[in-house]
């Protein structure tokens, strides 16, 4: 034995702290009586130095052993005093932080006699610093998402495995019962087991009111030792086998309170780890749950708002799309994969009484319920104006004025088009919206020229454009979410054009859905709407035959009185065969005569007349190649004048009447006729 060793060994037992003595080589060969009292280990009279060194190492937290060994070795090699921080296991298996001050021992001649380590308990100080750091981290983690389930899962990730082997979050449901909304376990093998408790009421109904009352009084509940009798008493009977298999040993339940009320609880369990919850564990749980409750409540409020917005948006989209012989629309709306970005994208297709179809598509800047409400407003303004004056510029101007008046800080991109199935034309205007694409029968893809500022920034004076669609075509309207998923608009446009050119997509029963999956294989991070118009069976421009029992065309020169009389007779016969009343039949024949006479007087030459009864009301179309004119539905100033009186008669006798200029010259008059 080294000189003075007996004295040193006896002396450290008098030190009121955990202490040890090591050999000059650094091997610990004596532990103080305080160490044995702290760890609960028994001192043996035959204890060997190697046993002492091993016992000391076992008492160190597994995560600290390697670092402490390396620090002790390096410090002793320097021969100067040093310190190291580590956690020591106490008798009840709990861990506390210590700062070990290590100093060299010398005899009177200065020769090394070994080392002494004095262990000072710094757990309160250390845990306070850890608590501040933990709470700061928890605040960041809980603020990262407004999705309720993500918030709950992240909260449990802060608890397990640092503060429990498994944990759950119970929230009061609509029946005021505690329901497990999130749960996790540190052991992956037990994960499937705890999932059986998810979405369930895990407490026995006889005990649940007592637990709920304590939570509402903001009282945390610590169960230091959980026995089988307690499990049997508190657990729901049908879940008893699962909870027994999870084998909880100790539990802590902390109320989740926000805005002065309790919304649920956080429950943590020690099961596999031989630890117990103590009152000193409460501060960190309480700090965490204060922040967590606010985050959970905010997420729940946002979730409800999002559900309302989603329902509102679904209700605002058309229930059905117009479908005619040879003309088919398909549409798709896909909300953002990032749930926080649900917003104000829309598409619409509305068939007017005169047979034309109004299409609109748009995107409100911003997200959430407010954007959805604005979206619905814009769509309804466009629809309303279309019923009175179906002109793209008028519809966009009305929407722009409405937006500037009601939401001056918001802008909206929009595209509006009027598709005429008779002339196969699309007359359109854009307010800063991505240009639609048109695919012809050969697979060629062109963009419709668009311009204009978004609604909310729009200036007056813009004009509409018109295009004749190919005899067989696919027209694709879309929002920017389809091409901006990868933050590369050029690349997105190229992918979209390639997909539109594909015969597989053009021939698909649902081109809108096929385009979405072709362009966005990885999903979308913004709302996406797609509307497609497919023309499969073109209506020829001048056919002197009956197309069907309810659709007829005549083409002749205004000088051909025989052809005109034949057309008039065929028109009246079609209405009579359809069951039109005598009074309405006379009115319809008068409308036919006045429109034909108007062309004879002011636009002599080629004329096309079409009768379309594919919808509820029959529509008479008269197309000429004259100079064009604007309809003014009132009597002329000179009541004896013949000029203008005929069109006033038509306007009075028809259910609806409008005249538009043909983009390639001439006029197109449409008269919606009554039947009863």
| Average confidence (pLDDT) over 501-514 | 94
pLDDT of residue 8: 63
Sheet of 250-258: strand order equals 178-185, 166-172, 261-270, 250-258, 221-223
CATH superfamily of 5-121: PAS domain (3.30.450.20)
Among 50-54, 137-141, 608-612, 636-640, name the most confident range.
608-612
From the list 16, 6, 20, the residue with the least C-alpha distance to 53 is 20
Name which of 223-227, 333-337, 470-474 the model is least confident about: 333-337
Element (H, E) at 213: helix 208-216
Sheet of 465-468: strand order equals 343-351, 357-367, 412-420, 425-431, 465-468
pLDDT of 622 > 50? The answer is yes
Q: Are strands 606-612 and 551-557 parallel, antiparallel or unpaired?
A: antiparallel
Sheet of 551-557: strand order equals 546-548, 551-557, 606-612, 619-624, 667-672, 656-661
CA dist 482 and 213 (Å) reads 51
Name which of 33-37, 352-356, 611-615, 628-632 the model is least confident about: 628-632
CA dist 584 and 576 (Å) reads 10
pLDDT of residue 195: 94
What Å distances lie between residue 6 and 1, 3, 13, CA to CA?
8, 8, 11
Element (H, E) at 498: helix 489-501
pLDDT in tens, 265-277: 999 999 988 788 9
| Average confidence (pLDDT) over 294-310 | 80
pLDDT of residue 539: 45
| Average confidence (pLDDT) over 376-393 | 93
Q: Which residues does 509 contact at the CB level (< 8 Å), separation at least 6?
A: none
pLDDT of residue 517: 92
The token pair at 570 is 């065929």
Element (H, E) at 358: strand 357-367
CB-count burial class (<10 Å; 0-12, 13-18, 19+) for 412: buried
Among 190-194, 627-631, 645-649, name the most confident range.
190-194
From the list 328, 363, 299, the residue with the least C-alpha distance to 145 is 299
| Per-residue pLDDT band at 544 (split at 50, 70, 90) | very low
| Average confidence (pLDDT) over 133-137 | 76
| Per-residue pLDDT band at 137 (split at 50, 70, 90) | confident
pLDDT of residue 47: 72
Q: Which residues does 240 contact at the CB level (< 8 Å), separation at least 6?
A: 231, 232
CA dist 415 and 194 (Å) reads 52
User: Do 127-307 and 546-672 come out as alike in CATH topology?
Assistant: no
| Average confidence (pLDDT) over 389-403 | 94
pTM: 0.61
pLDDT of residue 494: 92
Q: In a 3-state reduction of DSSP, which class is residue 393? A: helix
pLDDT of residue 632: 54
pLDDT of 134 > 80? The answer is no
N- to C-terminal Cα separation, the chain: 123
| Per-residue pLDDT band at 546 (split at 50, 70, 90) | very low
pLDDT of 264 > 50? The answer is yes
pLDDT of 194 > 60? The answer is yes
pLDDT of 349 > 70? The answer is yes
Half-sphere exposure of residue 44: CA atoms within 13 angstroms, side-chain side? 9
Q: In a 3-state reduction of DSSP, which class is residue 594? A: helix
From the list 447, 533, 531, the residue with the least C-alpha distance to 497 is 447
pLDDT of residue 664: 82
pLDDT of 572 > 50? The answer is yes
pLDDT of residue 167: 96
| Per-residue pLDDT band at 1 (split at 50, 70, 90) | very low
Task: Give CA angle at 125 (119, 130), nearest 5°.
Answer: 115
The token pair at 196 is 């059986």
Element (H, E) at 30: strand 28-31
From the list 121, 30, 111, 27, the residue with the least C-alpha distance to 76 is 27
pLDDT of residue 469: 94
pLDDT of residue 343: 66
pLDDT of 415 > 90? The answer is yes
Q: In a 3-state reduction of DSSP, which class is residue 448? A: coil
CA dist 27 and 331 (Å) reads 78
pLDDT of residue 476: 97
CA dist 610 and 600 (Å) reads 17
Q: Between residues 675 and 2, which one has the greater pLDDT?
A: 675
pLDDT of 634 > 60? The answer is no
Concatenate the DSSP letters of all residues of 86-153 into one string.
EEEE-TTS-EEEEEEEEEEEE-TT--EEEEEEEEEE-HHHHHHHHHHHHHHHHHHHHTS---HHHHHH
| Average confidence (pLDDT) over 636-659 | 72
pLDDT of 150 > 70? The answer is yes
pLDDT of 19 > 50? The answer is yes
| Per-residue pLDDT band at 530 (split at 50, 70, 90) | very high
| Average confidence (pLDDT) over 477-501 | 88
pLDDT of residue 545: 37
Q: Which residues does 209 contact at the CB level (< 8 Å), separation at least 6?
A: none
Q: In a 3-state reduction of DSSP, which class is residue 624? A: strand
Find the DSSP H helices in 350-486.
369-388, 392-406
The token pair at 566 is 């034949």
CA dist 670 and 672 (Å) reads 7
546-672 placed in CATH 3.40.228.10: no
What Å distances lie between residue 607 and 311, 563, 564, 645, 656, CA to CA?
49, 11, 10, 21, 21
127-307: which CATH topology? Beta-Lactamase (3.30.450)
Structural domain boundaries of the chain? 5-121, 127-307, 320-535, 546-672
pLDDT of 548 > 70? The answer is no
Name which of 59-73, 481-495, 653-667 the model is least confident about: 481-495
Q: Average pLDDT over the chain, rounded to whole?
A: 87
| Average confidence (pLDDT) over 323-341 | 79
User: What are the phi and psi torsion angles at 497 (to 5°)?
Assistant: -60, -40
pLDDT of 542 > 60? The answer is no
pLDDT of residue 428: 96
What Å distances lie between residue 400 and 32, 348, 506, CA to CA?
84, 18, 34
State the DSSP code for 664. T
Residues 247 and 150: beta-carbon distance below 8 Å: no
Q: Which CATH class is domain 320-535?
A: alpha beta
pLDDT of 538 > 70? The answer is no
pLDDT of residue 98: 95
pLDDT of residue 5: 58
pLDDT of residue 433: 95
Among 429-438, 581-590, 649-658, name the most confident range.
429-438
């Amino acid at each position: 034995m080294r000189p003075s060793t007996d004295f040193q060994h006896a002396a450290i037992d008098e030190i009121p702290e955990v202490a040890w003595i090591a050999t000059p080589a650094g091997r610990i060969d004596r532990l103080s009586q305080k160490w044995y009292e702290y760890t609960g280990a028994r001192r043996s009279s035959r204890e060997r130095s190697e046993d002492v060194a091993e016992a000391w190492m076992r008492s160190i937290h597994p995560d600290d052993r390697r670092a402490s060994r390396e620090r002790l070795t390096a410090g002793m090699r320097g021969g100067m005093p040093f310190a190291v921080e580590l956690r020591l296991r106490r008798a009840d298996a709990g861990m506390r932080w210590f700062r070990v001050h290590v100093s060299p021992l010398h005899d009177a001649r200065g020769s090394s006699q070994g080392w002494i380590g004095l262990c000072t308990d710094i757990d309160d100080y250390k845990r306070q610093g850890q608590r501040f750091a933990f709470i700061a981290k928890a605040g960041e983690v809980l603020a990262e998402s407004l999705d309720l389930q993500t918030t709950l899962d992240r909260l449990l990730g802060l608890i397990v495995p640092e503060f429990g082997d498994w944990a759950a979050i119970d929230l009061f449901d609509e029946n005021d019962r505690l329901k497990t909304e999130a749960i996790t376990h540190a052991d992956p093998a037990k994960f499937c087991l705890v999932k059986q408790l998810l979405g369930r009421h895990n407490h026995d109904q006889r005990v649940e009111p007592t637990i709920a009352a304590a939570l509402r009084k903001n009282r945390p509940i610590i169960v230091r030792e959980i026995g089988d009798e307690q499990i049997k008493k508190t657990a729901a009977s049908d879940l008893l086998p699962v909870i027994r298999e999870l084998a909880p040993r100790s539990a802590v339940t902390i109320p989740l309170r926000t805005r002065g009320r309790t919304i649920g609880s956080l429950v943590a369990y020690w099961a596999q780890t031989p630890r117990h919850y103590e009152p000193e564990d409460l501060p960190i749980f309480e700090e965490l749950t204060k922040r967590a409750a606010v985050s959970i409540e905010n997420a729940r409020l946002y979730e409800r708002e999002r559900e309302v917005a989603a329902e509102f948006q679904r209700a605002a989209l058309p229930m059905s799309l117009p479908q005619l012989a040879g003309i088919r629309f398909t549409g798709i709306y896909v909300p953002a994969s990032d749930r926080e970005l649900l917003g104000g994208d829309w598409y619409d297709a509305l068939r007017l009484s005169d047979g034309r179809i109004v299409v609109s598509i748009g995107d409100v800047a911003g997200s959430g319920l407010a954007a959805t409400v604005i979206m619905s407003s814009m769509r309804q303004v466009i629809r309303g104006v279309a019923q009175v004056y179906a002109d793209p510029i008028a519809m966009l101007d009305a929407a722009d004025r409405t937006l500037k008046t009601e939401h001056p800080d918001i802008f909206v991109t929009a595209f509006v088009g009027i598709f005429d199935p008779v002339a196969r034309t699309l007359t359109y205007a854009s307010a800063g919206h991505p240009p639609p694409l048109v695919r012809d029968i050969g697979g060629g893809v062109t963009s419709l020229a668009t311009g204009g500022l978004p609604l909310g920034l729009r200036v007056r004076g813009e004009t509409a454009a018109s295009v004749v669609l190919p005899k067989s075509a696919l027209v694709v309207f879309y929002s920017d979410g389809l091409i901006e998923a990868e933050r590369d608009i050029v690349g997105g446009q190229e992918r979209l054009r390639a997909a539109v050119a594909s015969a597989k997509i053009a021939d698909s029963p649902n081109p809108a859905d096929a385009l979405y999956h072709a362009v966005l294989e990885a999903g979308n991070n913004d709302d996406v709407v797609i509307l497609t118009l497919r023309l499969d069976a073109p209506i020829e421009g001048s056919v002197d035959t009956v197309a069907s029992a309810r659709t007829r065309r005549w083409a002749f020169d205004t000088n051909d009185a025989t052809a005109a009389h034949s057309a008039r007779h065929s028109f009246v016969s079609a209405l009579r065969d359809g069951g039109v009343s005598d009074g309405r039949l006379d009115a319809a024949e008068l409308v036919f005569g006045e429109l034909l006479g108007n062309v004879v007087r002011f636009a002599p030459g080629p004329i096309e007349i079409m009768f379309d009864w594919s919808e509820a009301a029959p529509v008479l179309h008269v197309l000429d190649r004259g100079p064009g004119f604007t309809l003014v539905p009132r009597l002329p100033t000179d009541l004896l004048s013949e000029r203008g009186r005929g069109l006033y008669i038509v306007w009075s006798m028809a259910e609806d009447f409008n005249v538009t200029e043909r983009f390639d010259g001439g006029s197109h008059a449409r008269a919606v006729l009554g039947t009863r």
